[in-house]
Amino acid sequence: MTTRIHVPRDAAARSLGADATARAILAEGQRRGLDIEVVRNGSRGLLWLEPLVEVTTPAGRIAYGPVTPQDVPGLFDAGFITGAKHALSHGPTQEIPYFKNQERLTFARVGITDPRSLEDYIAHGGYRGLKNALDMEPAAIVAAVTTSGLRGRGGAAFPAGIKWKTVLGASADQKYIVCNADEGDSGTFSDRMVMEGDPFVLIEGMTIAGVAVGATRGYIYLRWEYPDANAALKAAIAAASEKHYLGENILGTGKRFDLEVRSGAGAYVCGEETSLLESLESKRGMVRFKPPLPAIQGLFGKPTVINNVITLASVPIILDQGADHYQHFGMGRSRGTLPIQLAGNIKHGGLVEKAFGVTLRELLYDYGGGSLSGRPIRTVQVGGPLGAYLPESQFDVKLDYEAFTEIKGMLGHGGIVVFDDTVDMAAQARYAMEFCAIESCGKCTPCRIGSTRGMEVIDRLIAGNNPAKQEKLLRDLCDTMTFGSLCALGGLTAYPVLSAINHFPEDFVTSARTRVPA
Amino acid sequence: MSKVQIVNTSALGPMISRVQTDAVLSICAQLKSIAAPLIPILHAVQEQIGFVPKEAVPLIARELNLSIAEVHGVVSFYHYFRQDPGGRHIVHLCRAEACQAVGAPALEAHAKRSLGVDFHGTTRDGAIRLEPVYCLGNCALGPSIMIDHELHGRVSAQRFDELIKDTRADAAGKR
């Protein structure tokens, strides 16, 4: 009987040599005359163990990792194709605590299935949501999404159902579904993992959205930095089209939905929805004034649903298992689950999907295992480059949109970047301003000019040039940027800057500074 | 870079080769009927030629019935589009926070020193161009770099040198 061995094709696994590991396993198996098959799956999200190789045995899938090509002969000698013990063995993947204690709804199939196989997707519950949706009235589909409590996972946390309802109610000769796959926040990779590891779930979610609001055309706006996701999506779109899950007559219902991937070109601001729409129209990614809302006048001036990858990829399970099932997870007004990404200086970095309500401390220590360097964790930045730096005293906050707003933070896209005690918070504050200056679209003055002035003020502050005056000026500038900017880029840059100076004022005192900022 | 005949295409600018002109026109012909074709065309041009030649801008503008300013505006807005030749291979080095937390600033300094270039610069042998990038989505395994379209994680200074050496070794064959 053929032994099935999984070696991820996820970009993170490949960045540590998964391709070479896969080749070595195939070659060694052939050399020994063994009947093996190598499947390139998505990543399970236990990224510190990549390349994580799994062998299918009667007792389930047994994990070995990290496996380099040099480890392969030894693994065969130990009998790993029957799931035998080895120094790199972690036992059954499902039983690894990091994985076992998660609540995987959106990521239910990621790492388990072959992302190139539509059959595998369907065998693992795929397209049940679309089939249900095709039997429902459009308003009922929208109502299900509203009832589920699903909020935009890109960062703004706007209720998805409300957006959809507006587009459903708009009359136009053409409507669009746009997927925001411009995952630019540092510390985030959940969109990438879904697109590479289970692309069909995003396609299904977008198709359901199209059926729900009467849109016949969809675009995935994908950042150029994700070539593997691009290949995975294109292969999946071709496979789904061939079997009539996409195209002019979806599953014989006469409903149409066409889908296309468009590449971004390296502009962080294009993650902002109106800037993204401009970019999809092949223009400069300049932020638009709102109103009109994209739901009324979006892509090419037509009513448009624009949602993040995770939002759309969470729709199939809602339509499959029911809104109540999804809604049952979470706390307060944050319903369902959040795929959290543990990043930066963390021992066990990776993807943890949990219901809202888990605390930062649980994530950092129970899952993350503390810092990678072994030094104390001094701060974490949650929610990308526009998120606040939180001190240890706030690590008991629960992951919940409202709880984060209360502490002047932002959950954003669920990325957590960990820093140990060697971090220079003045340098981080300066970088926040620098990043805003590099990525500003230039449309509004507080963002375009304020960010450069912000760098200069921080430079003078840490140089000890009349620091009290500089700090007052910096706070005043942050206030102007917060209230005067057109979009979140200028509007939220104050979060990392002010949180750094409020929680770590000692790093801004010239005489106490032992390092020169980069 | 292929050795091609340099011709004067007068109105279109002085220094664009016949091969490049043909490539740009053929890409335009292929893509101009899709919705909002400009950015897809720019991607295709850069993929094929290695950059977006300044002389290609009026050509594309003419084919799409846009003004030269509109096309130039788009090319110059996006960090990814390069307007000057140089570098048979592009090394994108991540400068974002998650990589900063695990030593990206030191890697950046090493990269610049060992290659002898600043960001946007090309090594003297023409093999490597160094570019900054703000997140490659490999944030649990930084510092990260991307060489052409290949992602590499946990890149130490030593690993960086090995990767550059390998890249230089096959630099002769590409582009």
- CATH 3.40.30.10 is right for the domain spanning A3-100: yes
Burial group, residue A97, by CB count within 10 angstroms (0-12, 13-18, 19+) = exposed
Mean pLDDT of B76-95: 95
Q: What is the domain count for chain B? A: 2
Burial group, residue A5, by CB count within 10 angstroms (0-12, 13-18, 19+) = buried
Q: Which residues of B touch A263 (CB under 8 A)?
A: 39-40, 43
The CATH architecture that domain A118-326 belongs to is: 3-Layer(aba) Sandwich (3.40)
Are B108 and B50 within one domain?
no
Q: What is the pLDDT of residue A395?
A: 98
Residue B138 touches chain A, beta carbons under 8 Å: yes
Question: What number does CATH give the domain A425-512?
Answer: 1.20.1440.230
Instruction: Indicate whether B42 belongs to any domain.
Output: yes
Report whether B175 contacts B50 (CB < 8 A).
yes
Binned at pLDDT 50, 70 and 90, residue B9 comes out as very low
Q: What is the pLDDT of residue B16?
A: 78
Binned at pLDDT 50, 70 and 90, residue B172 comes out as low
Q: What is the pLDDT of residue B175?
A: 42
Which pTM does this prediction carry? 0.96
Instruction: Indicate whether B40 belongs to any domain.
Output: yes
Are B98 and B136 within one domain?
yes
CA distance A447 to chain B (A): 16
Instruction: Say which DSSP state A2 is in.
Output: P
Are B101 and B70 within one domain?
no
Which ipTM score applies to this complex? 0.96
The CATH architecture that domain A329-420 belongs to is: Roll (3.10)
Boundaries of domain holding B135: 89-169
Look at B101 and A188 and tell me if their CB atoms are within 8 Å.
Answer: no
Query: Could you say which residues from 302 to 341 on chain A have a Cβ atom under 8 Å away from some Cβ of chain B?
Result: 341
CA distance A8 to chain B (A): 14
Query: Could you say which residues from 351 to 410 on chain A have a Cβ atom under 8 Å away from some Cβ of chain B?
Result: 372, 381, 385
Are B58 and B104 within one domain?
no
Mean pLDDT of B106-134: 97
Are B165 and B93 within one domain?
yes
Q: What is the pLDDT of residue A446?
A: 97
Instruction: Indicate whether B174 belongs to any domain.
Output: no
**Integer Cα distance of A157 and A180 in angstroms:** 14
Spell out the long-range contacts of A96-103 with Cβ–Cβ below 8 A and sequence spacing 24 or more: A96/A46, A96/A63, A98/A46, A98/A348, A98/A350, A98/A352, A98/A367, A99/A44, A99/A45, A99/A46, A101/A367, A102/A352, A102/A353, A102/A354, A103/A329, A103/A337, A103/A353, A103/A354, A103/A355
Burial group, residue A369, by CB count within 10 angstroms (0-12, 13-18, 19+) = middle
Are B115 and B149 within one domain?
yes
Residue A258's nearest CA partner among A203, A337, A298 is: A203
Number of neighbours of residue B64 by Cβ within 10 angstroms: 18
Q: What is the pLDDT of residue B13?
A: 43
**Integer Cα distance of A299 and A178 in angstroms:** 8
Look at A268 and B134 and tell me if their CB atoms are within 8 Å.
Answer: yes
Residue B167 touches chain A, beta carbons under 8 Å: no
Q: What is the pLDDT of residue B174?
A: 47
- The yes-or-no verdict on residue B5 having pLDDT over 50 is no
Look at B141 and A418 and tell me if their CB atoms are within 8 Å.
Answer: no
Instruction: Indicate whether B82 belongs to any domain.
Output: no
Instruction: Indicate whether B48 belongs to any domain.
Output: yes
Q: What's the CATH number where B151 sits?
A: 3.40.30.10
Can you tell me which residue has the tokens 């300044």? B54
CA distance A231 to chain B (A): 12
Give the residue from chain B lying closest to A372, CA to CA.
B102
Q: Of the candidates B23, B57, B77, which is a domain's last residue?
A: B77
Please calculate the CA angle A353-A373-B92 and round it to the nearest 5 degrees: 75
Q: What is the pLDDT of residue A511?
A: 78
Q: pLDDT (tens digit, 9 = 90+) per residue, B17-58? A: 899 999 999 999 999 999 999 999 999 999 999 999 999 999
**Integer Cα distance of A136 and A142 in angstroms:** 10
Are B12 and B69 within one domain?
yes
**Which among A43, A50, A225 is the top mutation candidate for probing chain B, defined by the most B β-carbons within 10 Å of its own β-carbon?**
A225
Report whether A182 contacts A273 (CB < 8 A).
no
Are B26 and B69 within one domain?
yes
Instruction: Indicate whether B175 belongs to any domain.
Output: no
Instruction: Indicate whether B132 belongs to any domain.
Output: yes
- The yes-or-no verdict on residue B11 having pLDDT over 70 is no
Instruction: Indicate whether B133 belongs to any domain.
Output: yes
Are B135 and B162 within one domain?
yes
**Integer Cα distance of A467 and A463 in angstroms:** 8
Of B36, B98, B136, the CB nearest to A225: B136
Q: Which residues of chain A have pLDDT under 50?
A: 516-518
CA distance B160 to chain A (A): 13
Strands B89-94 and B145-147: antiparallel
Q: What is the pLDDT of residue A239?
A: 98
Domain ranges of chain A: 3-100, 118-326, 329-420, 425-512
Q: What is the pLDDT of residue B10?
A: 43
Are B56 and B98 within one domain?
no
Q: pLDDT (tens digit, 9 = 90+) per residue, A299-332? A: 999 999 999 999 999 999 999 999 999 999 999 9
Q: Of the candidates B77, B112, B136, which is a domain's last residue?
A: B77
